[in-house]
Structure formats: structure tokens, C-alpha cells
Structure 1
Amino acid sequence: MKITDLINWFESWANPAWQESWDNCGWQVEPGVLQENARVLVCLTPTLAVMEEAISLRNAGNPVNLIFAHHPLIFSPPKSLRIGDAIADMVRLAFIHKIGIYTAHTNFDQVENGTADVLAQLLELREPTPIVPTQNGLGYGRVGTLTPSLTLSDLLSVIQTRLAPPNLIFSPASDFNQTIDRVAVLGGSGASFISATVKTGAQAYLTSDCKFHQFQESRDRNLILIDAGHYATERPACSKLAQKFQVLGLDWAQLSRFDEDFRMFLK
């Protein structure tokens, strides 16, 4: 499958027109590779480490020609491009080595089998629906039912086991044996959806990037807020996307091995 056909297929599923006004989905760098057979490296964030991985694969005889990322390389127009600047270096290397960079962000968050759906599948939520619907059954986040129910302690253990976050933060809980049967999830930064999540009747909300006062707000509104980190809540969707590309029969598709969580935690 040529790169142009792969992108057309993807955009028929997750249309870039559905992105938020502040977002920048779609082509970040297209160095003339549209008619090449797609050889894709999938990642969460297009960093220099991922670009160096793609170049290393090319040098080893595996000519990667597309980095397919969830997070945009460029959020707002840069005022200059200079050596030593990460974005400039990514663009320079992309053109030198003919490796395109394509991003699917808030459009991918909303769709079936996107970031939220994959989290719901990992927790085995039944009958998941969007926390905030957008159009035609699509929307941000998912809320569904645990069958059978879990204690809060067991739910936290499931999240730790299946997402492997380096640090799991959650609201104060007086009873770890309380029964949880309705859970909401939203990969990435989901603190702004706390009010919408409360309205769904969810007892627990798995997301990331939550601040001190947002944990306080959730506690006061009887919502158990669980922060597993940005990387841990969105990386699974990237893995699932790489698998979908493999099923399409591309010449080559793989999840990046150098797409990392940048944070460090003391044990």
C-alpha cells in the first residue's frame, strides 16, 4: 500500500477535520514520499530519538519512510528554524532521509478504536459511550460498566498491571474495599472533563496530567480520580494502531522502541 493510500484510508476513519481548533493534525512534514510503499514507525510523540531510530532502521536495510505519531510535531507556527532547535532538526532530518511525519491527535481521540476506546477495552468496560459526545456516536473519553464489579483496590491493581505506569496517583479513599462498577477513561490530559465525568455517574475516572486542586475537586464531588500518566494512558492506542497497520498488509509497520516517558521517578 502506498503512503497516499494509507493516509486516505486513515482519514476516512479519523478525519482531520474533526480536530480541535487549537490542534494540528495531518501532515507535519511531507518530503515527497506519497507514492512510496508505506513502511511505518508508529509512536506517541515524534522526538529526535524516534527520528534517529527511523534513520538507524534505514541504515540497517529497513527503509522506514513514515513516522506516524499521535502528538503533533508542530502545535503552533515556529517563528524561525535553526540548527539545535528540536523541531528544526526533525524537519531537516525528515527531508534529508525522506521520512514523512504525520500526526493524528484529537481526531484520533474521538473515534472507535482510538485512544479512549483502547483504554476502555483494556479495562474491559461494557457498553462504553463517550463522556462528551461530538458527532455520530463519536466523542471524547468513554464511560462504561465493569462486569463483574471490582473493589477499588482491585481496580487500581488492574490499572497498574495493564498500563504499567511508573507512578499511579489517585484521590484519597476511605474504603479500598468499596465496589466500583462504573468507570470513565480518557487518555492524555483529561482533567478538564471532570465535571462532564461526574454527570455520567462514574465512580472512578482514569486519565492523566491532573493537578492538586483537581484531585480536591474530584474528592469533593465523590469521584475517584486516577492519574496513570500521559504516556501510560495513550501509548496502548499507538500499539493498537501499529497492529492495525500490520493487518492492512503494509510492507512494514512497527511500534517505536525509543518512544519513551520523559519523566523520572524516585523509588
Structure 2
Amino acid sequence: MKIADFITWFEKWANPAWQESWDNCGWQIEPGVLQESARVLVCLTPTLAVMQEAIALQNAGIPVNLIFAHHPLIFSPPKSLRCGDAIGEMARLAFTYNIGIYTAHTNFDQVDDGTADVLAQILELKEVSPVVPTQAGLGYGRVGNLDQSIALKELLTIIQTRLAPSHLISSPVVDLKQAISRVAVLGGSGASYLSAVVKTGAQAYLTSDCKFHQFQESRDRGVILIDAGHYATERPACDRLVQKFQDLNLDSVQLSQQDEDFRLLY
């Protein structure tokens, strides 16, 4: 499948027109690869490390020509491109080695098998629906029910085991044995959706990048806020992308081994 056809297929599933006004989905760099057979490297964040990985794969006989990322390379228009600057260096290498960079961000967050849907599946939530609907059946976040009530401590253990976050932070609670039956999830920075989560009746909310006062607010509003980190809550969706792309029988699809969490817990 040519890259042009591959992107057309993807955009029928997760239309870039659905992105938020502040976002930058779609082509970040297209160095002239549209008519080439798609050989894809999937990552969460398009960094120099991922670009160097793509180049190393080329040198090893695996001619990667597209980095498909969740996070945009460019959020706002740069005023200049210079060697040594991260974006400038990415652009230079992309054109030198003929590697395109394409991003699916807030459009991918909303769809079936997108970032939130994958989290809901990992926690085996049932009767799932969007926390914030945006269109028929789709939207930001997911809320659903567990098969049966479990203790909060068990829920935290499941999250730790299945997502393997570098850190796991939750609201302070008096009783870790309290029963949890309804859970909301949203990959990436989702604390701003707390008011919408409260309306769903969720008892616990799994997301990331939560601030001190957002934990305070969640406690005051009766929701246990659980922060598993940006990387851990979104990286599983990259695995799902690889699975879906492999079903298309592309020439090559790989998951990046150089994606970075950017934060370590010492």
C-alpha cells in the first residue's frame, strides 16, 4: 500500500478535521514519500532518538519511510529552522533520509481503539461510553463498569501491573478496601475533564499530569484521581496502532523502541 493510500485509510477512521483548535494533526514533514510503499515506525513522540532509530533501520535493510506519531512534532509555527535545534534537525534528517512524519493526536483520542478506548479495554471496562461525547459514539475519555466491584487497592495493583507506570499517584483515601465498580479513563493530560467525570458517576478516574489542587478538587468532589503518567496512559495505544496497521499488510510496521517517558522516579 502506498503511503498516500495508507493515510487516506487512516483519515477515514480518525479525521484530522476533528482535532482541537490548538492542535496540529496530520503531516508534520512530507519529504516526497506519498507514492512509496508504506514502511512505518510507530511512536508516541517524534524525537531525534526515534528519527535515529528509523535511520538505523534503513541502514539495517529495513527501509522505514514514515514515522507515525501520536504527539505532534510542531505545535505552533517555528520562526526559523536551524541545525542543532530539535525541530530543525528533525526536518534536515527527514529530507536527507526521505522519512515522513505524520501525527494523529486529538483526532485519534476520540475514536474507537484510540487512546481512551485502549485504556478502557486494558481495565476490562464494560458498557463503555465517552466521558465527553463529540460525535456519534465517539469522544474524549471513556467511562464504564467493572465486571464486579473490587477494592481500590486491587484497582491500583491492576493499573500498576498492566500499565507499568514509572509512578502511580492517587488521591489520599481513608480506606483502600473501599469498593470500586465504575471507572473513567483518559490517556494523557486529562485532569481538566474532572467535572465531566463527576457527572458520569465514576468513583475513580485514571489519567495523567494532575496538579496538586486538582487532586484536592477530586477529593472534594468524591472522585479518586489516579495519575499513572502521560507515557504509561498513551503508549498502549501505539501498540494498538501497530496491530491495526499490520492488518493492512503494509511492507513493514514496527513499534519504536526509542520512545521516551521523559520523567524518571528516583
TM-score, with structure 1 as normaliser:
0.99
In 2, Cα distance between equivalents of 1:66 and 1:75: 19
Secondary structure of 2:176's aligned partner: coil
Partner of 1:37: 37
Secondary structure of 1:159's aligned partner: helix
Secondary structure of 2:135's aligned partner: coil
Q: 1:242, CA displacement in angstroms?
A: 0.7
Partner of 1:230: 230
In 1, Cα distance between equivalents of 2:54 and 2:185: 32
Partner of 1:134: 134
Amino acid at match of 1:16: P
In 2, Cα distance between equivalents of 1:211 and 1:222: 17
Counterparts of 1:166-245 in structure 2, within 5 Å, are 166-245=166-245
Partner of 1:158: 158
Secondary structure of 1:172's aligned partner: coil
Amino acid at match of 1:117: D
In 2, Cα distance between equivalents of 1:90 and 1:47: 8
Q: 1:137, CA displacement in angstroms?
A: 1.2
Secondary structure of 1:84's aligned partner: coil
In 2, Cα distance between equivalents of 1:174 and 1:254: 45
Amino acid at match of 2:214: Q
Q: 1:247, CA displacement in angstroms?
A: 1.2
% same residue? 77
In 1, Cα distance between equivalents of 2:124 and 2:12: 27
Q: 1:25, CA displacement in angstroms?
A: 0.2
Secondary structure of 1:237's aligned partner: helix
Partner of 1:105: 105
Structure 1 residue runs without a partner (length 5+): none
Q: 1:151, CA displacement in angstroms?
A: 0.7
Amino acid at match of 2:152: L
Secondary structure of 2:5's aligned partner: helix
Secondary structure of 1:36's aligned partner: coil
Partner of 1:6: 6
In 2, Cα distance between equivalents of 1:109 and 1:103: 12
In 2, Cα distance between equivalents of 1:3 and 1:131: 33
Give 4+ residue runs of structure 1 displaced > 3 Å after superposition: none
Q: 1:150, CA displacement in angstroms?
A: 1.2
In 2, Cα distance between equivalents of 1:24 and 1:261: 21
Counterparts of 1:9-20 in structure 2, within 5 Å, are 9-20=9-20
Partner of 1:71: 71
Partner of 1:94: 94
Structure 2 residue runs without a partner (length 5+): none
Root mean square deviation, CA, Å:
0.5
TM-score, with structure 2 as normaliser:
0.99
Amino acid at match of 1:107: N
Deviation string, structure 1 residues 85-112 (Cα, Å, up to 9, x no partner): 0000001100000000000000000001
Q: 1:183, CA displacement in angstroms?
A: 0.1
In 1, Cα distance between equivalents of 2:75 and 2:202: 32
Q: How many residues align?
A: 266
In 2, Cα distance between equivalents of 1:248 and 1:77: 33
In 2, Cα distance between equivalents of 1:61 and 1:105: 30
In 2, Cα distance between equivalents of 1:158 and 1:80: 46
